[in-house]
Chains A and B, each alone.
Chain A
Amino acid sequence: MSRLTTALTIPREKLEKFQTAAHIGGVVAAVLGIVSVLVPWSYAHEPLDDVAYGGAPSPLQFNYLGLTVIALVLFAAPLVFRKPSKVRDWVAWNTGARFAGYGLLATGFVAVAAIGIESGGLINVDPGGWIALVAGVVGAVSGLLLLGSPDPSMGKIKTHSIVQIFAIAGGLAAVLFAAAFALGLSGPGAFLFYLTFAGSLALVLVRTGVFGWFAKCAADNKKIMVLAAFFVAFVFPFTQNGSDANMSIATQVLIFAATALGLNIVVGLVGLLDLGYIAFLGAGAFTSAVLSGSLYSHLNWHPPFIVTVLISGCVASLLGLIIGTPTLRVSGDYLAIVTLAFGEIFRITMNNLDGSDGPNITNGSNGINNVPELNLFGFNFGKPHVMLGIEIGRFANYFWLMLLVLAVIMVVFVNLNRSRIGRGWVAIREDELAAEAMGVNTFGLKILAFAGGAFLAGLAGAVKAHYDISVTPDQYVFLESAFLLAAVVLGGMGTVMGVLVGATILKLLPEKLRFFSDYRLMLFGLLLVFMMRFRPEGIIADERRQLEFHAEDEELAESVEEELITYHDHFNPDALTTEDLR
């Protein structure tokens, strides 16, 4: 992303003349944006969840209003406070203002396009929409003309821990509110508009340095942050008022994310390319379905679910061992091909275990239907329950169960990553020969990663079988493996947060944007190409991988190093100080 901003090379001297003009232009753009909200955007009522009223902004327009106000502040502040001071330099005003300008353009453009498409022609765009677009163009041009500001120092402010905890609570509450609001939007245009808005806002927060301060708050209170994040995820069903559609998507996202986290061990930590990973999820699902006591299952043994989950994980990791032992001796492209074939073999085998070509275990392509609802400790997952006056439906029950499974998987991932085993894995990724020469059992560790990752996928599969009710071989096609891999690469290899973000993007977008799902392969392909060009380390980068891809970027190298040092200082306050290293 930093390259996008430096791609335009207008000499600094020329730009300096335009600084005041650019600031004023930005203020004009922001004011135009504010005015636009008071004027109807669209003639018809359908687009963007109804933006057809003058003087009464819709909820979406209030969000847009927030962005314009932020842009106004960012553009106007340097006009008011002309002298540089320590407090002023906390925030990167100009850089933030530039991105706010881009954000105005992006949201304005999406708004006009969505109104045009959803109401049958640009003729139905009312003056408000056009004003918003003009505001965007003026804002983006003004932003382009601004000189970048020095790096913000907000991330270095010392804050009292109570303030930090409140910041975490506030930030997460905002995320929860935003998620609930976004999922409550009805039209695809409205959803896309909100997504553009949220993306712009996030970029502005990152670029101004405000996000850096949040990151420090989070890093200083790691445990509280993790617990709070889980709490937010836990209360999410309460924001949905019993709506099943959104909870169903959310549960699918969690299943997908849990599987992707398992894959992240294999791909992100050990650096082995696995293209057949969905087979392990399938193995878990089929095992769980066969043992579930479904009428279509031919095995007359149904242990309690906790046992089933473990058996599913073990079956999946056994498959991992079977495929891994002979093939992990090959590496790179060959391993990718072998695993690709394995994924297909799994699907075809499940198709053939139908009684005519083999033993009847899976009913062939019909799969195992009517997998009964889970019933744990008297809590029936299939029935809605009323809690705190809000109806918690079937999907929300499974959402909570999946949240628990995801938490387990995350603990496994993080603890392994921070141990001797995790170091061995990363060493193999970095230089296998050197790792072997240092006494690292490379083959054993690769097998462990393969089997361990498969086990985690098997756990997720066991829940998926009950959640989906029916398990059929055609759910586990190669495309799903490709999507899992895309989630890992898109989000950031080797990180937990990155994979969660990647999984959310890849699962949520096609569900909420129906028109998008026809073109999803093309659009995800484009997205990946753009990511590889501008941010190959993924949306949320592992601090180490970031360096791998931007080795020439000395500034980045230093900043990451600094981060590592502060991180370290945090855990060993008396060991080292930053000055020692200079």
Chain B
Amino acid sequence: MSHFLRRQGWVTGLFALLIVLFIVTKLIQPGYGSGDFGSLARAVLPYAFAVAAQTVVVIAGGIDLSVAAMMALTSVTAASMMAGASEEYALFVVPFVLAMGFALGALNGLLIVVTRVPDIVVTLAMLFVLQGAALLVLGAPGGGAAEWLKAMISGTVPIPGLPDAVDAWAPKALLVLIVCLCVIWIPLRRSRLGLSIYAIGSSELAAFRSGVPVKRTRILAYALSGLFAAFGGLALTMSTGIGAPIPGPYLLASVAAVVLGGVALGGGKGGLLGPIVAVFVLRLVRTDLTLLAIDPNVTAIIEGLIMVAVVMFGAFITMRGRQ
């Protein structure tokens, strides 16, 4: 048990923080119930995918500044394709958009490997390119989404054999999130590719000398990031019913949650669970501040302060640990 705690100390702490926050929320707003939890899960969905996209790349020792732009592009592509189309057509749109995200992510990785330009600069340039592409696809917010896609994240999952009161706490959005992430992440973590991603993030030279195909791994890491970002873009379209070409605040949020989730920015350390829990923590803090009727602008300040304080604290802990 103590071994587990030491290894998963950061994530355990985050979980504890999340529970404390839920209790605080309940104290502030005694009426906080399953419905509110459902809307929290829906709000978290795009953020969580953005964070997953960032996490994969950061573990591989890089950074992806184009996450939010990628989400905007995939979202408008999906929305403009589904506008006025039949429900069945969406069955084709979803895999197409996911494949597009994967391919564009792979392009990110390929450019980094081929041009040898630092990843920050390549993804920065790609940010402009993807943003521009999104504007070309859809000049203004618009488009549509298939009904079954919208229905996929609203409401709750009926679990047979459980009373409705418990059932209400299992929103579909949460289930979609868990399923999508698990289907990709768990096999990846156990595969050779997953190990290689951790290896190149930890030490590229050591990984290269132990026979890890560094270039291929890097490209695949970015491709996976693109895939997660495409999920995020789809989630945006699913929850709003339209696509918007201007990227949301997902870049900053993804980096913040990655760091808060205990993934070292140097690469090679951390998992996906921490950042996802961190997203919930950050969103719940925002909910609480709104419930307290605090000015939304002050909320932005408080969020920033929390982020900076947590990051400083985390860096301080690592420093103490090293000495």
Real binding pair:
no
